[in-house]
Chains A and B, each alone.
Chain A
Amino acid sequence: MAQPIIITQSGHYHYQQTEPSDLLIYVLCLSSADIDIEVEQTVPNAQVDIRALAYISNKDCARIHTHVRHLASKGTSHQTVKFVLNDEATGEFFGDLNIAHGAQQIDAQQTNRNILLSDNAQMRTRPQLVIYADDVKASHGASTGQLDETALFYMQQRGIGVETAKQMLLKAFVQDVLPLTLDGVVEHLQQRLLELGLTEEV
């Protein structure tokens, strides 16, 4: 696996896979940001994996847009995008997936899951799949909700305080998208993760 790309700041990021390569992209937003990622696969057997987490509070607004274009056959794209929104924060995910005419045997998966920690937080999500080939696997799913109340009660019934229980559930929610000890995550982001209780001091 090639060295992952780590995106933590606003911008338009464009990648073209012109050889059968593996591309791994991590996105981490801990305050307002506007991130636009474009991936184009122009040769067969290219793979891209996008794993994004936005965890924001106050009146921050995080936008993550992905555009994945499969122009050749046998390509793979897996996207997992998660938002955790507190206070009056707003999140936006736009997932644009395009499988071109003749790009057969594509495996494309897009998952967007969001947790609202406050009644005033807002999430907008818009998956958009445009498929011109007929022999492909493409799936997408989006869900937005609160922390699982039945899980919280179960944990409290075992003596776990409600704040600790919430922290454990949030950590579980985010850690399958990002390895939280990721090398290259800049220092102030590590510090924020530590404050949020999502990572431990190394």
Chain B
Amino acid sequence: MKLLEIKNLHASIAGKEILKGINLTINAGEVHAIMGPNGAGKSTISAVLTGHPAYTVTEGQVLLNGKDLLAMPAEQRAREGVFLSFQYPVEIPGVSMTNFLRTAVNEKRQYEGKEPLKATEFLRLMREKKQLLEMAEKLDNRAVNEGFSGGEKKKNEIFQMAMLEPCLSILDETDSGLDIDALRIVASGVNKLKTPNNASIVITHYQRLLDYIVPDFVHVLADGQIVKTGDKSLALELEEKGYEWLNQ
């Protein structure tokens, strides 16, 4: 089943064109890796798919489960099941993790026509997801990401992903700034959350993460276009030969 269809997507920021015709179809159950050198437009893809206000789509179409994704405001895209694990998760002083997540979960439930979760149900859900991910951290009473270490921030992103159960998760440079232990926990969380009904886009500069989250497809992005697509062996080839090899 087609989950996401990106057709001839062009996007720019401050008048500068970054994406120059992206075509990509993702089916439910698949993991797609997007690799590429710095400045290729990797993070722009995640920003455009999630509706970041700084980017303008100049051409093309994106369908999520057949719906016009680009016509929706950012919060609606999230409620339709698009989740971004941020490269740099944002600190929000004064807003507790519990309040933040409970609001997010309940706004999504309301959108789906479901009753909001009561406090006790919500806390139970938080406990279950924490157990599933084997996260020992006590994040609930702390302000969102405030004073979290780099590893805690990334684990917290995956925890939020578990709570919101997205159909499409985009992991933007999730491996950056992680030591190997944190990387394993984060990757195992992502793997546990995988179902036949959801899909992931893993954006990464290095092959390392893909040892833990094994992609079905690897796409190489260069200068705003996908220049090569292959299976996981392509990532190894890139690791060995570098991105320069593609220009030859």
Contacts and interface: CB of A to CB of B under 8 A. Distances in A.
Contacts of B75: 156-157, 159-162
A40 to B, nearest CB: 33
A169 interface: yes
Contacts of B52: 153
Interface residues of A, number: 22
A155 B90 CA distance: 9
B111 A159 contact: yes
5 contacts: A154-B89, A155-B92, A155-B100, A158-B78, A159-B164
Interface string B111-139: 10000000000000000000000000000
B196 interface: no
Nearest to B80: A159
How many interface residues does chain B have, given as a range?
20 to 34
Interface stretch (A126-134, A138-146, A171-179): A171-179
B78 A176 contact: no
A3 interface: no
Given A153-B53, A169-B95, A172-B95, A158 B164 contact: yes
Interface in B48-105: 50-53, 73-75, 78-79, 83-84, 86, 89-95, 99-101, 103-104
Contact of A160 (B83, B91, B93, B107): B107
A146 to B, nearest CB: 13
Contacts of A148: 90, 92
B107 to A, nearest CB: 5
A159 B79 contact: yes
Contact of A157 (B50, B95, B99, B101): B50
A163 to B, nearest CB: 10
Contacts of A156: 51, 73-75, 78
B198 interface: no
Contact of A159 (B53, B86, B108): B108
Interface string A21-47: 000000000000000000000000000
A139 B92 CA distance: 24
Given A169-B95, A172-B92, 12 more contacts: A148-B92, A155-B92, A155-B100, A157-B78, A158-B160, A159-B75, A160-B75, A160-B100, A161-B107, A162-B75, A168-B103, A175-B94
A172 B103 contact: no
B114 to A, nearest CB: 13
Contacts of B111: 159
Contacts of A171: 94
A172 B111 CA distance: 25
Given A156-B75, A158-B78, A159-B111, A151 B90 contact: yes
